[in-house]
Amino acid sequence: MTLKKTVIFVVLLVVALLVVLLGFSVYNSLDNSLGMKNLKQNSAAHQVDFLKDIKIKLPGEQPESYWELEVAKTENRGDRGRLSQVKGRYYVKGKLVYSLSGNRGEIFWQTRQLKINENVRLITNDGKRLQAEELVWNPKTQQITAVKQVVFTTDQVKVSTQKIIADLSIKKIVFSGPTKTIYDEVSKR
């Protein structure tokens, strides 16, 4: 009799466990199909769309490289963030490579591409200066592209053009469109 009671007890225990699991599964299924839809809709309505006066640290194109961006306002737009009043510094291995500023911009989160618009200024640690209406810093292609009213300046040269494509170190530069160059040998002395 004891063996029979033990077998019956184990069978009842297994059946009870199956009933509990089935009930939990049905409850979750109903909860997900009905309640979770409403919860997701309500939480999306309460989601923060923008932040003010923040600092963003964006990884760069190589190890130990990153952007430190200070922005007056950022808005999340899914795959990108829209920025206003952007000021930033780009570092490689703790060393400042260039500083950047502009009125508006966007960060593309997946590609880490940075696009800055309106009154853009980029200054390298060795004194090169780049002004434009739009600048795109693209770590995937390893290029900086500046367009519209572009002015590139060093100690000896000032170049005005419509478009510049440069490597990320701004040592190799391609000028496009009508270009005006002023060379000043005296400045180097």
- pLDDT tens readout for residues 5-51: 777 777 776 776 666 666 656 555 544 444 434 434 444 444 446 67
Of residues 72 and 30, more confidence is placed in: 72
Q: Which two tokens stand for residue 95?
A: 């060393």
According to DSSP, the β-strands at 80-92 and 65-76 are antiparallel
Give the model's pLDDT for residue 144: 92
Q: Which two tokens stand for residue 68?
A: 């430190």
pLDDT digits (tens, 9 = 90+) for 146-178: 999 999 999 999 999 999 999 888 889 999 998
Contact between residue 140 and residue 154 where contact means Cβ atoms under 8 Å apart: no
pLDDT digits (tens, 9 = 90+) for 84-135: 999 999 998 989 999 999 999 998 888 888 999 999 999 999 999 999 999 9
Taking 3-state DSSP, the helix, strand and coil percentages for the chain, each rounded to the nearest 5, stand at: 25, 55, 20
Residue 17 CA to residue 22 CA, distance in Å, equals 9
Residue 171 CA to residue 103 CA, distance in Å, equals 26
- DSSP three-state, residue 124: strand
Contact between residue 74 and residue 93 where contact means Cβ atoms under 8 Å apart: no
Contact between residue 46 and residue 29 where contact means Cβ atoms under 8 Å apart: no
